[in-house]
């Protein structure tokens, strides 16, 4: 977790936190930094700030389907403006209109009161509107400084002035309060959070007055989120307007100044955060209260037979993993980023396999050495990175949904394959047809295809790694219901999530990982604090064992 000053005093962190030790000194940013900020307009000091940017009556259709119906939005200098809504509500489209990726069919965009048209992302960037997308626009093989100044490398006597590039990057990082990022480090060696910092620094270095962020915390956890919060607040202090798209209500209430809610491509409301409550917000987004969010647990039903057992599992990242998953139960797996959550999922599935320990599926000893063996043994893994690992994006829905069957279980493919369309429709997949290419589906629908692919194998154990990442509130609920049904049908489910509310809401019991080991087990209904205590290494190992 290189960038952030670690907030928990975990024994696993090598160094003491440097938090208050070196207050960042704006004067020390150097001459270049000051000259850069001198022509950046400061936030108006009036009590009723004039909007920096105003979008009115934005309309946009794709292939005859109207995605935005006359949406309006205004951004003030120095505010964090949360944009929420289900997937398909039009958030991404609105963001992309602002970024210059999509051209609106109708409507006006005014910047500082003057109408603008962005035909291309570059035009938007030059006007001071930068966007941090979920897929980073960074070159992994180049350094932080080279990425920040990409396309605008400073020159001296015709040659690129690498020294100044490094110094300016250092100064920018200092201004933003990021202390542990080396401008010379290669981006490929950075964590996701650090890469996000680089993206934001890049935007700031382009004198961005408006920065929109698409689910910036989707791939972060724990202290990394804190880092992002601080960065966003720092941007706000600098008079930047931040448009913040997120599915996490907690963040919106901690960070946001105003909230705009979209539903079905229409503007529902723009309100001050101070005057809103989470319940109210969810109702605006989905039209139902949050209490009905998670499906009921199987009331008092005794869990079935043990379907997965691991004893003393370990490899380079994991150690001493003992676990038992029973049919009919959902076991939550919580832990901070880097605690080994994904590594455990992958080890079970034969990817970063266990080098020690023993494992049984339905009583049969197996220690999968490849995903193929894992599938044969009855395991399924819905992986964290849907696009890279879960789907062949340019292949049709049906081919994706049958992929595992066709590849690994051809002997029984006939019967099971016939069930695939049925499974897809039971998941309420919304697609033009089974021959539509997966890349044209929304995130939630893509995830349904991934689910269908694994359900088709009729697994004994289903491992879900961040199944709701990038999936909207409404589709989440459907997914949760389906996962509960799956458990009720006798499958053992391991649910891995960096969203604590998800683990707490879904799981029948919770395992907490810390530094590659299972730090403890908690029953359903455990307190958030208890989980965090284990996850940060504050509580003793094996609390409830």
If the CB atoms of residues 193 and 506 are measured against other proteins, the closer one turns out to be 193
Nearer to other proteins, 22 or 430 (CB): 22
The two three-digit tokens of residue 212, written as one number? 């929109």
Q: In this structure, what token pair is assigned to residue 294?
A: 């998670």
To the nearest whole angstrom, how small is the minimum distance from the Cβ of residue 455 to other proteins? 23
Helix (H, G, I), strand (E, B) or coil at 319: coil
Give the residue carrying structure tokens 């000893």. 365
Please state the closest distance from residue 314 (CB atom) to other proteins, in A.
Answer: 6
Q: Closer to other proteins at the Cβ: 335 or 459?
A: 335
Phi-psi map region of 276: left, alpha, beta (phi>0 left; psi -120 to 50 alpha): beta
Which of 160, 301 has the CB closer to other proteins? 160
**CA–CA–CA angle 381, 405, 303 (5° rounding):** 45
Shortest gap between Cβ of 379 and other proteins (angstroms)?
16
Query: Which lies closer to other proteins via its Cβ, residue 508 or residue 515?
Result: 515
Q: Is 287 left (phi over 0), alpha (psi -120 to 50) or beta?
A: left
CB contact at 8 A, 356 and 320: no
Rounded to a whole number of angstroms, the minimum distance from the CB of residue 61 to other proteins is: 24
Q: How far is CA 233 from the centre of its chain?
A: 20
The residues pairing with 214 across neighbouring beta strands, listed in sequence order, are 245
CA-to-CA distance for 94 and 284, rounded, in angstroms? 18
Q: How far apart are CA 435 and CA 307, in angstroms?
A: 35
Q: How far is the CB of 138 from other proteins (least distance, A)?
A: 7
466 CB-near residues (< 8 Å, 6+ apart): 384, 496, 497, 498
Distance of closest approach, residue 265 Cβ to other proteins, in angstroms: 26
Instruction: Round to whole Å and give the CA distance between 286 and 428.
Output: 17
- The two structure tokens encoding residue 193: 């959070």
Instruction: Rank residues 188 and 432 by Cβ distance to other proteins and give the closer one.
Output: 188
Nearer to other proteins, 199 or 502 (CB): 199
Cα(146)–Cα(164) distance, integer angstroms: 11
Minimum distance from CB of 403 to other proteins (Å)? 16
User: What is the closest distance, in whole angstroms, from the C-beta atom of residue 254 to other proteins in the complex?
Assistant: 22
State the Cα–Cα distance between residues 141 and 60, nearest whole angstrom.
37
Other CB atoms within 10 Å distance of the CB of residue 348: 27
User: Based on CB atoms, which residue is closest to other proteins, 386 or 509?
Assistant: 386
């Amino acid at each position: 977790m290189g960038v952030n000053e670690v907030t928990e005093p975990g024994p696993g962190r090598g160094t003491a936190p440097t938090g208050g030790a070196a207050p960042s000194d704006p004067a020390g940013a150097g001459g270049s930094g000051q000259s850069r900020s001198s022509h950046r307009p400061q936030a108006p000091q009036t009590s009723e700030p004039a909007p920096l940017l105003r979008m009115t009556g934005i309309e946009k259709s794709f292939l005859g389907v109207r995605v935005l119906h006359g949406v309006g939005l205004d951004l003030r200098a120095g505010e964090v403006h949360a944009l929420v809504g289900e997937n398909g509500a039009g958030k991404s489209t609105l963001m992309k209109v602002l970024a210059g990726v999509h051209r609106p069919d109708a409507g006006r965009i005014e910047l500082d009161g003057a109408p603008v048209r962005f035909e291309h992302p570059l035009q938007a960037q030059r006007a001071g509107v930068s966007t941090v997308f979920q897929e980073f626009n960074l070159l992994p093989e180049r350094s932080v400084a080279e990425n920040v100044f990409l396309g605008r490398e400073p020159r001296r006597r015709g040659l690129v002035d690498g020294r100044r590039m490094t110094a300016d990057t250092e100064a920018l990082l200092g201004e933003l309060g990021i202390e542990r990022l080396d401008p010379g480090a290669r981006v490929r060696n950075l964590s996701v959070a650090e890469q996000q910092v680089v993206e934001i620094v890049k935007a700031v270095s382009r004198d961005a007055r408006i920065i929109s962020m698409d689910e910036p915390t989707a791939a972060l956890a724990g202290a990394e989120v804190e880092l992002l919060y601080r960065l966003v607040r720092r941007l706000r202090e600098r008079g930047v307007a931040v448009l913040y798209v997120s599915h996490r209500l907690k963040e919106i209430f901690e960070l946001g100044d105003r909230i705009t809610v979209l539903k079905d491509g229409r503007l529902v409301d723009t309100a001050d955060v101070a005057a809103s409550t989470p319940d109210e917000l969810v109702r605006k987004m989905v039209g139902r209260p949050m209490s009905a969010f998670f499906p009921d647990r199987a009331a008092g039903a005794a869990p079935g037979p043990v379907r997965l057992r691991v004893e003393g599992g370990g490899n380079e990242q994991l150690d001493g993993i003992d676990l038992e998953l029973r049919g009919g139960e959902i076991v939550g797996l919580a832990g901070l980023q880097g605690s080994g959550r994904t590594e455990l999922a992958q080890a079970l599935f034969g990817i970063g396999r266990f080098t020690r320990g023993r494992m049984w599926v339905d009583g049969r000893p197996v220690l999968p050495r490849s995903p193929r063996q894992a599938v044969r043994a009855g395991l399924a893994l819905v992986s964290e990175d849907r696009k890279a690992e879960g789907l062949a994006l340019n292949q049709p829905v049906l081919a994706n949904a049958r992929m595992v069957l066709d590849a690994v279980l051809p002997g029984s493919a006939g019967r099971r394959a016939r069930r695939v369309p049925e499974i897809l429709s039971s998941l309420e997949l919304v697609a033009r047809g089974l021959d539509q290419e997966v890349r044209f589906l929304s995130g939630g629908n893509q995830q349904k295809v991934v689910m269908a692919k694994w359900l088709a194998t009729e697994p004994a154990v289903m491992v879900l790694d961040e199944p709701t990442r990038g999936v909207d509130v409404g589709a989440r609920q459907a997914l949760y219901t389906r996962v509960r049904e799956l458990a009720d049908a006798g499958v053992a489910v391991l649910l891995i999530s960096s969203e604590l509310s998800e683990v707490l809401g879904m799981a029948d019991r919770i395992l907490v990982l810390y530094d590659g080991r299972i730090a403890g087990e908690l029953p359903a209904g455990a307190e958030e604090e208890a989980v965090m205590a284990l996850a940060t290494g504050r509580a003793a190992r094996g609390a409830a064992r």
